[in-house]
Structure 1
Amino acid sequence: MTVKKTFPKILWLIFSSSIFFIILYFALFYYTKKAEKQVYKVSVEQFDNEIHKLLDLESKPILVAINNDTNWDEFVSFISTKDSTWFNETIGNELEIYDADYLGAYDAQKNFLIRTPTPSIKTIDFIPKHAMDLLNVEGIKKFYLKIPDGIVEVTGAAIHPSDDPLKNKTKTSGYFFVVRLIDSDFLKNIQKTTSSSVQFIDVKEKLPPEKHTISSIYQLKDAENKVVGTLLFKRNFEVYFENTTNLLYAIIITFFINLLINLAYTRKLVYYPLDLIRRVLETGNKKAIQELKKTTGEFSYIGNLFEENNKQKIELINAKIKAEEGDRLKSSFLANLSHEIRTPMNAINGFTDLIINTNINETEKLEYLNIIEKSGKNLVSIIDDLIEMSKIDSNQLKPNFAVVNLESCVNELYETIKVTIVNKAIEFLLIKSSKPAEFNIVTDDIKLKQVIINLLTNAIKFTDEGFVTFGYEIDEKNELIHFTIRDTGLGIDEEEHKNIFDRFKRVDSDVSIKVGGLGLGLAISKAYVELLGGTISLESKIGEGSTFYFSIPLKYSKSDHITVRSINNEEVVKSEKEVILIAEDDNINFLLFQKMMQNKCYEIIRAINGKEAVDICLNNPNIDLVLMDIKMPIMDGFEALEQIQPIRPNLPIIAQTAYSSSEDKERIEAAGFSDYITKPLSRERLFELITKYLDKSTNNELH
């Protein structure tokens, strides 16, 4: 009877245990499939959001650039004048800037005016009129079109005067369009940006499901919001749930073999991990993910997937924030650049127009010319900074180490800068070193001087009263030279210290806005110091002034003691009736030389290219000096120098060049030119060089 009573209980236990396990199995299977669907759904949503964000960011530079160009008075004037030369030279040259295949302009009546295409787009006029109507409302719009050359991305903007920031549609002067052909190169660029495969698909095509792949559809819509094409983005999604399913089958077989063991550990091995998955899916609980990773089998793998998924979310958010910040900073920099370039250009154009078209007395004329000269120098300074920053970014700069007399170098800088300080109650001091350099050092003196000049110029610019000092100390123990530039000027907020050397983060204040500039001097100085193997830092407080410190390696060239050279202040002496050859292909530049030298007793001969300059020098022994342009047709200045020097080694040849970087100057000196003068030309510098080398030539002849 006991057996009979016990047996039904055992059967009931087995049956109830089986029912329990079957229910547990289906629950586990359900939660696994739910996790699979949830992870896949979240990943697809993230991928789709990422694709749309990245494509929007990829188009942002074009929107910024086209907004600047279409809010330009000269562009408005072009619509009226239809000056194709202006368009081709000013706007047509921006194909590379826009990275586009077609630039086109229409007038206010939507009539086609002009285009600048690449060979890939042969269609001339394909912008629909209704798209231009939309621009009157929206100002700027991006859409897609299907043309004979293929599907293109079109970014259009209405052209307005600069005094119409609200872009009133009644003031629309015309329309400007930037077009990019969606070809293989375009797709490769998007593929690289999104880290996924990209392909065209038919609008009506139905996508077959693919295992371990996530995809996103990006519809290309025209101005009327009609789909003209579709891009399919795909990325591998390596999440495998088959092993989990197989494990579930193994569990149910193992259960019937060892029922008691499975019953004892069901909660630990099954329910608890599933509860963790539920908590992760419902709340994203990080503690639950860590506990899930500590479990065994596929649950630990799922925990790793959840953790990786969270990391990808954070990385995507950080990348988005960084991209938006970088885009904002670059847009701000470009806007500031546009302002800084247009400011001196406005002065140059405006006062030139006043001189030409109005009746003014000589005093006003001289005042206007001084303003034009100052604005021109400011514009050249901005361009020089941009070129130097571009070389730094592309790693084209290399130090040119040479033997340098440090004490003489510092004294020369002091004497040079001292005479430039006018109209300011500033005491400018050179702090003598307690232990001056006893020997020549090895460094790049051009870059070292530029760093000191940049820091001193900044200090003087932002100091109205008090003092500006600089000096150096030798640290032989650590083999360093420490430089210090101190001022009692405006000072810098401590929160801005971290941004002061960043090229895109200009510290704006009333004074910095007033003095102007791109704020690249400190970024260039930091790059130069690091190029020399040193470091730079600052201490500053608002209202108390600033102190910049930088150090470079100390390396002596030899053991001989040195003497400090005195500053050369010799007076310029005039020459008479000497023959000067000016090799210059540009008529305006040659005219400038003639006007500068018309009151001097020089005989001027012109060569319009390098070959002609060589022929004149070899056939005319009366040539006393040559002003050689570097960039000329047929034969450039370097090639001409190579042919003249062997025949006339004592003939002074001065290079005249529009290049102004330290590397260009080093190349000119290495080529063997007697000296150089940079454009824009300085009249004082020109006559200083002419007098110097004509006197040398005369002395050589006497000896």
Structure 2
Amino acid sequence: MTLKKTFPKILWLIISSSIFFIILYFALFYYTKKAEKQVYANSVEHFDNEVSKLLEVNAKPILVAINNDTNWDEFVNFIKDRNVKWYNESIGNELNIYEADYLGVYDVNKKFIIRTETPKIKSVDFIPKAEMDLLNKVGINKFYMKIPEGIVEVTGAAIHPSDDPLKNKTKASGYFFVVRLLDQKFIKNLEKLTSSSIEILDNYADLNEEKNKIRSLSPLKDYNNQLVAELSFKRNFAVYFENTTNLLYVIIVAFFVNLLVNLIYTRRLVYYPLDLIRRVLETGNKKAIRELKKTTGEFSYIGNLFEENSNQKIELIKAKIKAEESDRLKSSFLANLSHEIRTPMNAINGFTELIINTDINETEKLEYLNVIEKSGKNLVSIIDDLIEMSKIDSNQIVPNFAVVNLESCVNELYETVKITIKNKAIDFKLIKSKTPAEFNILTDDIKLKQVIINLLTNAIKFTDEGEVTFGYEIDEKRDLINFTVRDTGLGIDEDNHKNIFDRFKRVDSDISIKVGGLGLGLAISKAYVELLGGTISLESKVGVGSTFYFSIPLKYAKVEHIVVKPINNIELIKSEEEVILIAEDDNINFLLFQKMMQNKNFKILRAINGQEAVDICINNPNIDLVLMDIKMPLMNGFEALEQIRPIRPTLPIIAQTAYSSSDDKLKIEEAGFTDYITKPLNRERLFELVDKYLRKKNENEA
């Protein structure tokens, strides 16, 4: 009787336990499948978002560039006068800027005017006329279409004057289109950008689902919003739930063999991991993911998958924030650049018009001309900073180490800067070194001077009254030269210290807006210091002032005591019928030379190209000095110099160039020019060079 009574209980226990385990089994199976679907769905969603964002980033430069070009008054004029030379120089050479294969221009009547293309695209005038009607409404539009060469991405924009680019869309002056061929190169670049494999599918293609792959489809639509094709992005998705499913089958079979043992460990091995999965799926709990990773078997693997999924979310958020920040900085920089360029240009144009069109006395005229000169210098400074930053970004800047007399270098900078701040109530001092350089050093003196000039310029800008000092000390124990630039000016808030050397960033304040600038000076200085092998840092408090420190390696040239060279002012001399040849193809620049020298007793000859300059030098032995433009037709300045030097080895030949970087200056010196002067021309510098080399020539002849 006892066995009969006990057996049903045991049987019931077995049955109830089996039912309980089966329920647990199906619950585990359900949550596993749910986890699989959830992880897969999340990954696909994130992949779609990532592809969409990256495609927007890929198209953004073209949209910004085409918006700038089509709001250009000269482009409007081209539609009317069809000046092909202007088009080739200003628009036709922008294929590399757009990274495009075809540029096309149409007039207001939708008639084809001109194109610029790569060998990839032979087709001409393939833009639908209806698209131009659409541009009258929307201004800018991007669409896709098929041409004989394949599928192309077309970005079009209506051409408008700069003073009213959007208000009168129905009165466009013409239409401009940028075309990219979706060829193998385009696909490869896009694959690299998106870290996926890409196929172009026609709109009838059937997609076969692939195991352990995720896919995102980006439709390519024409101007009528009709599907032309689709871009299929495919990426590996290494999630393997089959092992989990097989393990579940093994567990349910083993249960009947090890029922009693399994009952003891059910909660720890099954229920707890399932609860963790549930918490992760419902809330994304990071603590639950960590605990799930600590479990054994496939649950730990699922925990790794959840962690990977969570990390992907974080990376996507970071990428989005970074992209938005980059876009914001670029937009802010472009707006700031536009403002900084238009400000001096407004002054130049405005005061020039006042001089031409109004009756003014000589005092006012001189005042206006001073404003024009100052604005021109500001504009050149902005352009120089942009070019230098571009060269730094493309790794084109290399240090040119030479023997430098450090004491003379610092004294020269002091004398130069002191002259420029006579109108400010600033006590400007050069702090004499306690441990001066006893020997010449090896460094790039041009870049070193530029760093010090940038820091001093900033200090003077933000110090209306007070003290600005600079100096250096030799640290032979650590083989360093430590420079200090200190001011008692505005100061910088501590929150801005970490970004002060970043390009395009500057401290926003009323004084910053007043003094202007692109925020590139400190970024260029930091790049130069690091190029020389050094470091730069800052200490600053608002209302107290700022101190910039930078150090470069100490390298003595040779053990030879140095003597500080004095700074001498050059006395200008009046010439007596010396013959000067000016090689200049631009009429306005030549006129400027003539006007500058009209009070001097020079005989001026002109060559309009390099070949003519060579012929004149050969046939006129009385020429005393040559001002040689670098960029000229037929033969440039370098080529002309090569032919003149063997015939007239002692003839002073001064290069005049619009190239102003340190590398360009080094190239001019290495070519064998006697000296150089940069454009825009400085009258005092011009007379200084002319008098110097004419005096030297006269002394040699005497």
Instruction: Specify the alignment match of 2:701 in structure 1.
Output: 701
Instruction: Specify the alignment match of 2:62 in structure 1.
Output: 62
Q: Quick check: 1:441–1:554 contact (8 Å CA) kept in 2?
A: yes
Q: Quick check: 1:64–1:331 contact (8 Å CA) kept in 2?
A: no
- Cα deviation digits, residues 575-595 of structure 1 (max 9, x gap): 323333333444443443344
Distance 1:611 1:131 in 2: 50
Instruction: Specify the alignment match of 2:526 in structure 1.
Output: 526
Distance 1:345 1:90 in 2: 20
State the one-letter code of the partner of 2:690: I
Whether 2:465 is the aligned partner of 1:465: answer yes
Q: Quick check: 1:160–1:167 contact (8 Å CA) kept in 2?
A: no
Find the residue that maps to 1:511 and give its secondary structure.
Answer: helix
Task: Call closer, same or farther: CA 1:565–1:636 in 2, change over 3 Å.
Answer: same
Instruction: Specify the alignment match of 2:342 in structure 1.
Output: 342
State the one-letter code of the partner of 2:57: L
State the one-letter code of the partner of 1:96: N
1:297-696 maps to which residues of 2 (within 5 A)? 297-353=297-353, 355=355, 364-618=364-618, 620-696=620-696
Q: Quick check: 2:200–2:229 contact (8 Å CA) kept in 1?
A: yes
Task: Call closer, same or farther: CA 1:359–1:85 in 2, change over 3 Å.
Answer: farther
Find the residue that maps to 1:317 and give its secondary structure.
Answer: helix
- Cα deviation digits, residues 212-253 of structure 1 (max 9, x gap): 110011112233322222111111111111111221222233
Q: Quick check: 2:492–2:546 contact (8 Å CA) kept in 1?
A: yes
Which stretch has the larger CA shift, 303-312 or 249-258?
249-258
Give the C-alpha shift of residue 281 in structure 1: 1.0
Q: Quick check: 2:158–2:174 contact (8 Å CA) kept in 1?
A: yes
Distance 1:152 1:223 in 2: 12
- Cα deviation digits, residues 404-437 of structure 1 (max 9, x gap): 2222111111111111224322222222223332
State the one-letter code of the partner of 2:307: E
Whether 2:325 is the aligned partner of 1:289: answer no
Distance 1:506 1:151 in 2: 44
Which stretch has the larger CA shift, 15-24 or 298-307?
15-24
Whether 2:221 is the aligned partner of 1:221: answer yes
Q: Quick check: 1:490–1:543 contact (8 Å CA) kept in 2?
A: yes
Which stretch has the larger CA shift, 470-479 or 279-288?
470-479
Which stretch has the larger CA shift, 136-145 or 449-458?
136-145
Distance 1:368 1:76 in 2: 31
Give the C-alpha shift of residue 172 in structure 1: 5.0
Distance 1:466 1:356 in 2: 41
Find the residue that maps to 2:486 and give its secondary structure.
Answer: strand
Q: Quick check: 2:137–2:170 contact (8 Å CA) kept in 1?
A: no
Instruction: Specify the alignment match of 1:279 in structure 2.
Output: 279
Give the C-alpha shift of residue 329 in structure 1: 0.5
Distance 1:518 1:162 in 2: 23
State the one-letter code of the partner of 1:142: K
Task: Call closer, same or farther: CA 1:509–1:137 in 2, change over 3 Å.
Answer: farther
Give the C-alpha shift of residue 289 in structure 1: 0.8
TM-score, normalised via structure 1 length: 0.92
Distance 1:95 1:157 in 2: 16
Give the C-alpha shift of residue 121 in structure 1: 3.8
Distance 1:130 1:237 in 2: 43
Give the C-alpha shift of residue 190 in structure 1: 1.7
Q: Which consecutive residues of structure 1, in runs of 5 or more, have no partner in the other structure?
A: none
Whether 2:94 is the aligned partner of 1:94: answer yes
Find the residue that maps to 2:439 and give its secondary structure.
Answer: coil
Distance 2:135 2:422 in 1: 52
Once superposed, what is the RMSD of the aligned Cα atoms? Answer: 2.8
Whether 2:242 is the aligned partner of 1:242: answer yes
Q: Quick check: 1:348–1:375 contact (8 Å CA) kept in 2?
A: yes
Distance 1:535 1:675 in 2: 33
Which stretch has the larger CA shift, 589-598 or 160-169?
160-169
- Cα deviation digits, residues 555-585 of structure 1 (max 9, x gap): 3333333221111113122232333333344
1:250-269 maps to which residues of 2 (within 5 A)? 250-269=250-269
Distance 1:17 1:530 in 2: 73
Which stretch has the larger CA shift, 562-571 or 120-129?
120-129
Give the C-alpha shift of residue 524 in structure 1: 0.8
Aligned residues: 702
Give the C-alpha shift of residue 497 in structure 1: 2.0
Q: Which consecutive residues of structure 2, in runs of 5 or more, have no partner in the other structure?
A: none
Task: Call closer, same or farther: CA 1:344–1:101 in 2, change over 3 Å.
Answer: farther
Instruction: Specify the alignment match of 2:200 in structure 1.
Output: 200
- Cα deviation digits, residues 594-614 of structure 1 (max 9, x gap): 443344333334444445544
Q: Quick check: 1:78–1:87 contact (8 Å CA) kept in 2?
A: yes
TM-score, normalised via structure 2 length: 0.92
Distance 1:295 1:677 in 2: 75
Find the residue that maps to 2:560 and give its secondary structure.
Answer: coil
Find the residue that maps to 2:561 and give its secondary structure.
Answer: coil
- Cα deviation digits, residues 119-155 of structure 1 (max 9, x gap): 4444444444554454455443333333444333233
Find the residue that maps to 2:430 and give its secondary structure.
Answer: strand
Give the C-alpha shift of residue 318 in structure 1: 0.2
State the one-letter code of the partner of 1:432: K
State the one-letter code of the partner of 1:569: N
State the one-letter code of the partner of 1:213: K
Distance 2:72 2:342 in 1: 11
Find the residue that maps to 2:420 and give its secondary structure.
Answer: coil
Distance 1:301 1:557 in 2: 63
Find the residue that maps to 1:457 and give its secondary structure.
Answer: helix
Distance 2:103 2:148 in 1: 17
Task: Call closer, same or farther: CA 1:299–1:498 in 2, change over 3 Å.
Answer: same
